Amino acid sequence: MAKLPTPQMLVASRPAFPEQDWLDIKPEFAPGSFCYPAKKETMELLHMPNPHDWDPAAEDWNLPENWEKILCDAFAERLEKHRSLKLFMDICVRCGACADKCHFFLGTNDPKNMPVLRAELLRSLYRRDYTMLGKLLGKKVGARSWDKDVVKELFYYAYQCTECRRCSLFCPYGIDTAEITAIVRELMHEVGLGTHWIMDPVKNCSFTGNHLGIQPHSFVEIVEMLADDCETVTGIRPKTPFNEKGHEILFITPSGDVFADPGIYTFMGYLLLFHELDLDYTFSTYASEGGNFGSFTSFNMAKKLNAKMYAEAERLGAKWILGGECGHMWRVINQYMDTYNGPSPSHMITPKSPITGTVFKNAASTKMVHIAEFTADLIHHNKIKLDPSRNDHIVTTFHDSCNPARAMGLLDEPRYVLKHVCNNFVEMPENTIREQTFCCGAGSGLNTEEIMELRMRAGMPRGNALRYVQQKFGVNHMACVCAIDRATLPPLADYWAPGVTVSGLHELVGNALVMKGEAKRTMDLRQEDLPNVVDDEPEGEE
Amino acid sequence: MFASLILVLLMGAIAWVGASIGLASLFGVVLPYVAVVVFIAGLVWRMVYWAKSPVPFAIPTTGGQEASLDFIKQAKIDCPSTTWGVVKRMFLEVFFFRSLFRNTLAEVRENDPVNNGPRSIYYSSKWLWCFSLLFHYCFLLVFIRHFRFFMEPVPSCITFVETIDGIMQIGAPRFFMTGGILLVAVLFLLGRRIFNQRLRYLSLANDYFPLWLILGVVVSGICLRYFDKTEISQVKIFLMGLTHFSPVSPEHLNAIFIVHLTLVCVLLMYFPFSKLVHAPGVFFSPTRNLANNTRRVRHVNPWNPPKQFFTYPEYEDAYRDAMAEAGLPLEKQPEKAAE
């Protein structure tokens, strides 16, 4: 990875707007500005159209011979399938309200990263084929024809958008750039263009059950190890039920939490909580992925990866599904799952907490509850004992992940939990949280190393807000409910606000949870010494 | 930006010249009928075009807390979970431009003392909201006021609007505030496109043209009322003729009136084929007009493709031995599967 400039240099190096009209500028594929391409074998295995070898930095992308027809037909098909696309092509007035709402634009000052221009890249093609004036007047009214540079440009900017939907909140017509980006990515896939960082997890998830390609036996082994670590910290070894039939609840969380630091500590938090509740649940190695990189590929791929959840709930006879902390997973579950793969298996019931008796009517059809909703309900009914002072060494803030915030509205549940497990909680500035939250800069499959500088640029608004509360209120921790965040925020914090650590919500729950029969806690789940541990009275040493 | 200005001026000039060389009937009678037909048919066609594509997914942008637990307060307007909530959200969106009201202005500082480094600050920025609201409402009121030309007797509500509009009692004929504010608002919307670097960069002829056109309509209208005063009673007779499909000759009418009418007709004809369709479009927007209730009520996609995925039996076939070794429960034990 190339060395990063300092934050000051990075901000200062944002270029001014170019002199030329945007229609006359071609993107430059400099190293670090693009994600590595998907491998041909991966695409073949997934039956993606037109798999081929190509290099984004090369002049020729080896597009299939009839690429223009493929793209025009695919675009026409999408227009027929999605009213949103027709509408968003037609009704933008270019008022510019979206421009400085985009983290990519703020960090790069590239005009084509203004959501309005990002959409114009496609809209200009739409005008040529679908509007009378565009047909007649062409470039004078912002219409243009397809050519290979246009394809490159679409690819370039479709992967400089994290589908965070912040712009759609501010748009007076609710034009959703995520929808446009998702469809442009679909179009690119029609001519065999995809990125390795997205398609490899998609392949893994298709054939092994999770993005990381962890095979069933290894999955079990890793979780057993995490259970061992739980025992080291608490003296209690939580149970780890796998693929067991007849349990009430199937628990599904992103596989990143089984594998990567610091997500594993969040996973340990789940294990401890479920053990303490004596919850009647099981994991599944088959449906071992909550996340869905298919949703960064195409609607159908998202459907395909998501289908395992209901299929496994049906096979195991689970009554309802509890979902772990993840961002785009919850976009899919909240807005797409039931449409894709519903109705849910007939034996499933409206989720009801076996501990508090609360019926989650808001999940009556999907039958899937967010762990933050579940835990907030437990705390509200006083069903778990918490010692927030175990988290006294941290002053935490909370990062709202884009998808739970703007595609679900999960804002106060995690805060409710956080405030009960931590004594020191500080909000970041108001225009950077809740529904106005800024992306980590690397969502929607952009969390790859080769574009680290770009990620830091896109993460600038989040990083600046974090730095602000760090400097002003001594914040040294950021909690979040997203597995991608847990992977992307640590480097962001190291860069923009060094000294701030990152964790999932349930890691802090795991720390604060007072369990029946537990040993005295001297360490947190990361096995770091807890400060302010009072030594027990010496027991009459002789 | 100037090409579209010239285009508008040219249209005005053609109408002027046309009126002077005896073609007033073409611009005053034929064009308005054509324009109204194009406007209505165009809008209907546009809405049918949109409606022909389904809404496969419910994708509301949630602008606040969802409805979940009893003790957590839902943002019922910004994150509606019922149709009634959606109606309220749409009402605020359409009548008060709620989303635009949120607008902020981001400033990125390279070196800020608090952050001891770069810092982004977001200021409330309501200018665009304010002027676009003024623009749309004044346009609406001016439009309503014009009904006195089409209706006999003039309904009292229109007289009332006129009274309120001219309540400042400045000048004779009385100055209508809406006309003045509309002019200022159009100039603001034009000005920000011309002087704001970002806006200038992203603006197309398609953005300037309707603004110049509306400016032309407003300026010619103001001229007709205050400066090159037209004979109101003649105009009314002429317009009543149009609305009753028994047109009278417009030959004797002021040339500026023909210019005004022509520009309005151009606006009507341009409307369905331009960004101006944002007016009906906002009602169709799936990020605003759907409830965030997709976990409670299933949204159906009419083209939902069949399920195709790596099934559990296939998965077990692929990993059976390893799963058996790890002690995982199996549908078929290895020895059974081998048979």
Residue B132 lies in a domain: no
**Does the CB of B246 have a partner CB in chain A at under 8 Å?**
no
Residues A231-265 pLDDT 10s = 999 999 999 999 999 999 999 999 999 988 999 99
Sign of CA dihedral A63, A64, A69, A75: negative
- Under 8 Å CB-to-CB from B230, ≥6 apart: which residues? B224, B253, B254, B256, B257
Q: Are residues A353 and A471 located together in one domain of the fold?
A: no
Question: Region B246-270: what's the mean pLDDT?
Answer: 92
Closest by CA position to A516, among listed A213, A106, A235: A235
Residue A159 lies in a domain: yes
Q: Are residues A209 and A357 located together in one domain of the fold?
A: yes
Q: Are residues B213 and B324 located together in one domain of the fold?
A: no
Residues A461-475 pLDDT 10s = 999 999 999 999 999
B175 vs A186, more confident:
A186
**Does the CB of A220 have a partner CB in chain B at under 8 Å?**
yes
Q: Where among A360, A380, A400 does a domain terminate?
A: A380
Residue A229 lies in a domain: yes
Tally DSSP H helices, then E strands, for chain A: 24, 7
Q: Are residues A126 and A164 located together in one domain of the fold?
A: yes
Residues A321-367 pLDDT 10s = 999 999 999 999 999 999 999 999 999 999 999 999 999 999 999 99
What pTM did the predictor assign? 0.95
Interface of A with B in 81-100 (CB under 8 A): 81-87, 90-97, 99-100
Measured between CA atoms, the residue of chain A closest to residue B76 is A409
Q: Are residues B262 and B337 located together in one domain of the fold?
A: no
The region, left, alpha or beta by phi > 0 then psi within -120 to 50, assigned to residue A142 is: left
Residue B49 lies in a domain: yes
**Strands (DSSP E) along A387-432, which ranges?**
396-399
Residue B133 lies in a domain: no
Asked if A254 contacts A486 with a C-beta cutoff of 8 angstroms, the reply is no
pLDDT band, residue A541 (cuts 50/70/90): very low
Residues A14-32 pLDDT 10s = 999 999 999 999 999 999 9
pLDDT band, residue B233 (cuts 50/70/90): confident
Asked if A223 contacts A229 with a C-beta cutoff of 8 angstroms, the reply is no
Residue B318 lies in a domain: yes
CATH number at residue B21: 1.20.950.20
Q: Are residues A500 and A392 located together in one domain of the fold?
A: yes
Question: Region A98-106: what's the mean pLDDT?
Answer: 96
pLDDT of residue A305: 96
pLDDT band, residue B336 (cuts 50/70/90): confident
Q: Are residues A34 and A178 located together in one domain of the fold?
A: yes
Q: Are residues B274 and B327 located together in one domain of the fold?
A: no
Q: Structural domain of residue A486, as residue ranges?
A: 388-531
Q: Are residues B336 and B195 located together in one domain of the fold?
A: no
Alpha-carbon distance of A403 to A411, in angstroms, equals 11
Alpha-carbon distance of A214 to A75, in angstroms, equals 36
Per the DSSP assignment, residues forming a β-bridge with A396 are: A425, A477
Alpha-carbon distance of A492 to A442, in angstroms, equals 10
Q: A1: exposed, middle or buried (C-beta count within 10 Å: 0-12, 13-18, 19+)?
A: exposed
DSSP string, A486-513: HHHHHHHHHHHSTT-EEEEHHHHHHHHB
Q: Structural domain of residue B86, as residue ranges?
A: 2-94+149-307
Are A362 and B304 inside 8 Å of each other by CB? Answer: no
Q: Chains A and B: how many Cβ contacts under 8 Å?
A: 334
Residue B251 lies in a domain: yes
Q: How many domains does chain A fold into?
A: 3
From the list A86, A338, A377, the residue facing B69 with the nearest CB is A377
Alpha-carbon distance of A4 to A451, in angstroms, equals 11
Q: Are residues A189 and A233 located together in one domain of the fold?
A: no
Question: Region A136-159: what's the mean pLDDT?
Answer: 94
Q: Are residues A348 and A448 located together in one domain of the fold?
A: no
Residue A190 lies in a domain: yes
Residues B281-296 pLDDT 10s = 999 999 999 999 999 9
From the list A17, A299, A380, the residue facing B201 with the nearest CB is A17
Residues A297-327 pLDDT 10s = 999 999 999 999 999 999 999 999 999 999 9
pLDDT band, residue B23 (cuts 50/70/90): confident
How far is the CA of A228 from the CAs of A225, A251, A516, B20, in angstroms?
A: 5, 20, 18, 95
Best mutation target among B101, B285, B314 (most A Cβ atoms within 10 Å) is B285
Q: Are residues B250 and B267 located together in one domain of the fold?
A: yes
- Under 8 Å CB-to-CB from B166, ≥6 apart: which residues? B174, B175, B176, B177
Asked if A92 contacts A116 with a C-beta cutoff of 8 angstroms, the reply is yes
Residue A541 lies in a domain: no
**Does the CB of B295 have a partner CB in chain A at under 8 Å?**
yes
Q: Where among A167, A194, A221 does a domain terminate?
A: A194
Q: Are residues B29 and B170 located together in one domain of the fold?
A: yes
Angle of helix A263-277 relative to helix A483-496, nearest 10 degrees, comes to 130
pLDDT band, residue B172 (cuts 50/70/90): confident
Question: Region B45-68: what's the mean pLDDT?
Answer: 97
Alpha-carbon distance of B264 to B204, in angstroms, equals 21
Q: Where among A171, A194, A217 does a domain terminate?
A: A194
Cα angle B51, B55, B59 (rounded to 5 degrees) comes to 135
Closest by CA position to B173, among listed B184, B181, B165: B165
**Does the CB of A9 have a partner CB in chain B at under 8 Å?**
no
Alpha-carbon distance of A455 to B121, in angstroms, equals 20
Q: Are residues A307 and A359 located together in one domain of the fold?
A: yes
Q: Are residues A163 and A261 located together in one domain of the fold?
A: no
Q: Mind telling me how many Å the CA of B7 is from chain A's nearest CA? A: 13
